[in-house]
Structure 1
Amino acid sequence: MDHSDTGLRAVCKSLTDVIAPSLKPDDPLAREQLSLIVHYLEFLRSRLDHLHARERFQLADARTLAVLVREAAPDAPDTAALASAIAAAGDLLADHRAATADLREATARAHHAVSGIVQAAPGLPAEVSRRIALAVIDGTADRIAMERAWYLPMGLDPAPAEVPALETLLGRYAGNPETSATAE
């Protein structure tokens, strides 16, 4: 049984009930920092059950972006790295037992491959460079929506009513590598 939630709750209680009262009254910075720490730990507690699903989402999203960039510039240099990252991401997304760390590593690999193409874009024909830029813009909507939904409990979003439900976004890539906006 995982006790992470209980442990984080105990840490927050200790910080607020034991540490906070022992702070010097004339140290507002320490009190402010303690409050921020407790707030972030409580936020993390609220997201514990979604951490692995978030990694799956991020990999599926990175794969989608890589597919869009490959379609925008099929003859760009380093498309082999892009194709390899797309295939590896698809394999991991199809494996329901894939470890969180493996998902994270494959996401980084896909982003690195996309970055290589984006960095090469200024040296490519103007139309190809433009298609790459548009692919990157088109490929970021889900990621932005996810970041907004993920951090919504922090209370910083200027339009929280516009933010899709976190569960809806996570469910979009719940295990099917072909549910991305653009299939291979």
Structure 2
Amino acid sequence: MDHSDTGLRAVCKSLTDVIAPSLPADDPLAREQLGLIVHYLGFLRSRLDHLHARERFQLADARALAARVRDAAQDALDTAALESAIAAADELLADPWASTRDLREGTARANHAVSEIVQSAPGLPAEASRRIALAVIAGTEDRIAMERAWYLPMGLDPAPAEVPPLEDLLRRHAGHHETAAK
């Protein structure tokens, strides 16, 4: 049985009940920082059960972006690194036992391959560069929605009512990476 949630709850309680009262009254910065720490640990507790699904989402999203950029750059640049990253992402996404670390590494690989193409785009003919830029822009909607949903409990979003439920976003990419690039 995983006791991560219980452990984080106990840490928050200890910080609040034991550490906070022992802080000097004339140290508002320490009190403020402690409050931020407790708040962030509470946020982390609320997201603990979704960490692996988030990594799967991020890999599927990075794979979809890599496919869009590959299609946009195909006639202008060598897309072998993108092809390789897409194939690796497909393997990981098809594997229900892929570790969180492997998913994270697959995401980094796909994002790096996209970054290499994007950095080369300014030296291309205007139309090719434009296609690549539009492919990147088209691939940001889900990523931004996910970031907004993930951090919603922090209370910083200016329009929280517009944020789709986290679970809906996580499910959207769960096992359906083939359609994510459309």
Structure 1 length normalisation: TM-score? 0.97
1:25-74 Cα deviation digits (max 9, x unpaired): 00000000000000000000000000000000000000000011011110
Which residue number in structure 1 is paired with residue 51 of structure 2? 51
Which residue number in structure 1 is paired with residue 149 of structure 2? 149
Which residue number in structure 2 is paired with residue 14 of structure 1? 14
Q: Which segments of 5 or more consecutive residues in structure 2 lack a partner in the other structure?
A: none
Matches within 5 A, 1:16-165: 16-165=16-165
Structure 1: how far apart are the matches of 2:134 and 2:111? 16
- Deviation of 1:173 after TM superposition, in Å, equals 1.3
- Deviation of 1:175 after TM superposition, in Å, equals 2.0
Check the 8 A contact 1:56/1:93 in 2, yes or no: yes
Structure 1: how far apart are the matches of 2:94 and 2:177? 6
1:143-163 Cα deviation digits (max 9, x unpaired): 000000000000000000000
Check the 8 A contact 1:76/1:117 in 2, yes or no: no
Structure 2: how far apart are the matches of 1:165 and 1:157? 14
- Deviation of 1:174 after TM superposition, in Å, equals 1.4
Structure 1: how far apart are the matches of 2:97 and 2:179? 18
The code of the aligned residue for 2:65 comes to L
Check the 8 A contact 2:57/2:173 in 1, yes or no: yes
1:117-175 Cα deviation digits (max 9, x unpaired): 00000111100000100110000110000000000000000000000000000001112
Structure 1: how far apart are the matches of 2:174 and 2:142? 14
SS in 2 for 1:175: coil
SS in 2 for 1:179: coil
Check the 8 A contact 2:73/2:132 in 1, yes or no: yes
Structure 1: how far apart are the matches of 2:113 and 2:24? 51
- Deviation of 1:178 after TM superposition, in Å, equals 1.7
Structure 2: how far apart are the matches of 1:75 and 1:81? 15
- After the TM superposition, which parts of structure 1 deviate over 2 Å for at least 4 consecutive aligned residues? 75-78
Structure 2: how far apart are the matches of 1:28 and 1:124? 54
Query: How much identity, in percent, do the aligned residues show?
Result: 82
Structure 1: how far apart are the matches of 2:25 and 2:81? 57
